[in-house]
Structure 1
C-alpha cells in the first residue's frame, strides 16, 4: 500500500492511498469463495455455483463490499503510518475500479493542530485570602435563617412582606379552570418574588378568611406557551398567616447544631471563619486557573478544527438539557431552539477546545502524565465526596472512554498545578528550582480528549 499526504492548510490533510491489485484481487476471491458455499441459485446444487455465474450475479455487490472494507482498513493504517491525528470523519473521493490495476482513492480529514508553544510566562494576579467580620456575620445570619420556624400570627392584621401566607386558590382562563391551576393550603412567602409576577402583591394586605378575585397577565416563558400574554383570573382565600421566628444566637444555638468541636457561639464563629477561608481559597484557585488559561490562550494562538468545536457545542447543549430536565424544566417549551442554544455556546466551546488542546501540548512537552494509580485514587476521592460506594464509582469509569476522559482531566489539573508553581503569582519566575512535572512510570502519553 502506498500513501501520500498533502497539508492543504494547518488543520486539513489530504491522504492519497493506492491499494495494490493483488490485495484487491485476493480479497475479492475470498469473498467469492464465501459466497460459493452459501449461494442458492436455481439450477445449481449448493456449493456448486460456477465462479463466472457468481461474478455475473454478485459482481457489483462483492466489489462494493471489498472496496469498502479495504478503504476502511487502509485509511486507519495510513493514519497510523503517517502519525496523523484525525479529529473528523474523512471526506472520501473514491477512484474508478479497473480490473487488474491498483485501486486509488483520497480522503480529506481535519487534524489536531500542531501547537507551537511560544511562551508560558504569563501574568496571573495574586489576591490574598480575606475573611472579614461582616462575612462571618452574614454566614451566621444565613444559618440562623435556616433554623427559623413558622409560627401563627396571633394578632388580626393584614398580610405583609416577610409573612408566609397560607392560601387556597383557583386559576381560570376564559372562564375555564386551568389544569394544575388550583391548590389548597399553599405556602406563599410574601416578598420572595417566587410566585407569578403580581401574585404576591395581590395577597399583601389581605386578612385571614378574606377571599379576593383578581386578574394577572401571564408573561412569556411562564407556564404553557399558549397562555403567554393572556389574562388569567384568580380566586384566592387567605386561610392562615404565619411569620418566621428566628432562634436566639447563643451558646445553646451553637451546641444544638451538632457540629464537631462546636459547643459555644464563639467556637461556631471560628468554624465559620475557617470554612469561609477554605471556600475563598478554592474560589481564588479557580480564578487563578481561569486567568492562567485565558492568558495562555492569548499568548499561544492556533487554528481550531471546526468539527471539534461542533462536537463540544453538542456536548454542552446536551449537558444543559440534562441539567434542566433534572429540575423538571423543558427549555424548549419556553421558545428556545436547540440550534440557537448551540450557537449561543460557540464562544464557550471554542475556549474549552483551545484550553484542552493547549494543556495537552504543554503536558506532552513537559512530560506530564497520569498513571493508573492516580486515576484509581481520583475515583476513590470522587466516591467519598459523593458518598457513593467505591465499587459503583469504579464501575462508572470502567469503560475506556470514561476512564480516558478522567485521565485527561487529571493531566490538565497537573499541568495547571505545574504552571502555577513555576510562576510567581505576578507572572515572574518562581524562586528556586522548577518542580519536576513527570507522572508515574506506568502512565501513558495523554490522548486528545476529542474523538474522531
Structure 2
C-alpha cells in the first residue's frame, strides 16, 4: 500500500492511498466464495454452483462491497502509519477505480490540533468570599413566603399593583381579532409584566364587572414578528379582584417543604443548609467561568470545522427539545449556534489536553462527596446515593464533573488568585457569561 500526505491548511490533510490490485481481487474472491456456499440457483444443489456462474451473477456486487470495505480499512491503516489523528470522517474521492488496476483514492480530512496548554500563570481569578448570615436567612424566608402567596377575593375593592385579576379580553388590530389575542377567565397578577407594556397598568383601579378598552402598541422586538410594532385595541372585562395574602410561618407552611418537625428553628436550619449549598455552588461556578475564559484567552487554537459542525447540530437538537415547536433541528440557522459551539469545542480540547498533561483521573473521594452533596437536597439522601452507585451512566457523568473541577484546581494552583469579600446575594447572583460549557 502506498500513502502520501499533503497539508492543505493548518488542520486539513489530503492523503492519497494506493491499494494493489492483487489485494482487491483477493477480497472479491473471498466474498464470492462466501456467496457460493449459500447461493440458491435453479439447476444446482446448494454449495455446488460453479464459480463461473457465481462470478457472472454476483461479481459486481462483491467488488463494490470489497472496495467500500477496503477504503475503510486502508484509510485506518494509513492514518496509523502516518501517525495522524483524524477529526471526523474523510471525504473520499476515487482516482482509479477500475477492474484489474490498483485502487487509488484521495481522502481529505481534518486532524486534531497538536498543542500544549500554556499561560496558566497569566490567568487572573477573583474568588468571592461570603457567609450566610441571619439577615440573609430572614430575607430568604420572605422570598419563600412571597413565592407561596395566596390570593383572596375582595368585595368591591379596586384592583391595585400586586393584586390578581380574573379577566376576559379580546384584542383586535384594525378591527380584526388576531390569533392569541383573546382569552376567557385568565388570571393575571398586576405588576408581573406578563403582558405587553401598558396592559397591566391599564387595569389598576378597575373593579369586578368593569370593562376597559386599552389601546396599546406591541414592542418593536416582540417575539411574534407578525405583531411586532403594531397597535392593538384590547377590550378587557374584569371578572374578579383578589388581594395577595402571605402565608404565616407555621407548621402548614413548613410542611410545603417537607419539614414537619422542630418548628421555625428547624425550618431555619434547613433553609440555611440550602443557602450554604447554593453559595458554594455559586462561588464555584464563578471561579470556573473565569478559569475557562482565562484558558481560552491564553490558548488560541485552530479547531476542526467538522467538530464545530457536530456541536452545532447537538445544540440545534437541544434547542428543539427544550423549546419544542414543529420544526426540525436543521431548520434552525447554524450561525445562531456557531460561537457557542466553537467555545465548547475549544474548551473541550483544552481541558482534555490539561487532563493528559497532568495525568488527571477522577478522585473517587470527591465523586462520593459530590453525590452526597446533591443527595442532601432530597428527603431520603441515602436512597439517592445508592441510586447513583447503581447507575454507571450517571456515575460517569459525575466523574466528568469532578474531573473538570480537578482541572479548575490545577489552573488555580498556578493562576493569580485574589479573594474578595461580598454579600451572600452578590455571591449567588448568576454571572454574566457567554453561553458555553
Interval of TM-score (by shorter of Structure 1 and Structure 2): 0.7 to 0.9
Q: How many residues align?
A: 414
Higher relative contact order (CA 8 A, sep 6+): 2
Q: Does 1:129 align with 2:130?
A: yes
Q: Does 1:150 align with 2:151?
A: yes
More strand, by proportion:
2
Aligned match of 1:432: none
Asked whether the 8 Å contact 2:221–2:229 carries over to 1, the reply is no
Equivalent residues in 2 for 1:121-270 (5 A)?
121=121, 122-131=123-132, 135-154=136-155, 156-171=156-171, 182-218=182-218, 226-228=226-228, 232-247=232-247, 259=259, 263-264=263-264
Aligned match of 1:286: 285
* Pairwise CA distance, 1:353: 1.2
TM-score, with normalisation over the residues of structure 2? Answer: 0.76
1:406–1:10 Cα change, 3 Å:
farther
Aligned match of 1:414: 406
Asked whether the 8 Å contact 1:383–1:393 carries over to 2, the reply is no
Aligned match of 2:318: 319
Q: Secondary structure at the match of 1:192?
A: coil
Deviations 1:387-414, CA, capped at 9 Å, x for gaps = 897898789765xxx9877655443233
Asked whether the 8 Å contact 1:174–1:232 carries over to 2, the reply is yes
Q: Secondary structure at the match of 1:87?
A: strand
Deviations 1:315-366, CA, capped at 9 Å, x for gaps = 12222222222xxxx4979xx9611xx3133222222111111111111111
* Pairwise CA distance, 1:238: 1.6
1:208–1:284 Cα change, 3 Å:
same
Partners of 1:244 and 1:35 lie apart in 2 by 80
Partners of 1:172 and 1:68 lie apart in 2 by 63
* Pairwise CA distance, 1:132: 6.1
Gaps of 5+ in 2: 420-437
Aligned match of 1:85: 85
1:40–1:338 Cα change, 3 Å:
same
Asked whether the 8 Å contact 2:96–2:102 carries over to 1, the reply is no
Partners of 1:123 and 1:44 lie apart in 2 by 81
Q: Structure 2 residue aligned with 1:355, among 332, 347, 353?
A: 347
Q: Secondary structure at the match of 1:420?
A: helix
Aligned match of 2:297: 298
TM-score, with normalisation over the residues of structure 1? Answer: 0.73
* Pairwise CA distance, 1:90: 0.4
Asked whether the 8 Å contact 1:90–1:109 carries over to 2, the reply is yes
Deviations 1:18-40, CA, capped at 9 Å, x for gaps = 33333211111123334546667
Asked whether the 8 Å contact 1:159–1:204 carries over to 2, the reply is yes
Asked whether the 8 Å contact 1:147–1:247 carries over to 2, the reply is yes
Gaps of 5+ in 1: 428-452
Partners of 2:366 and 2:23 lie apart in 1 by 45
Partners of 1:238 and 1:14 lie apart in 2 by 72
Asked whether the 8 Å contact 2:222–2:229 carries over to 1, the reply is no
CA-based RMSD: 4.4
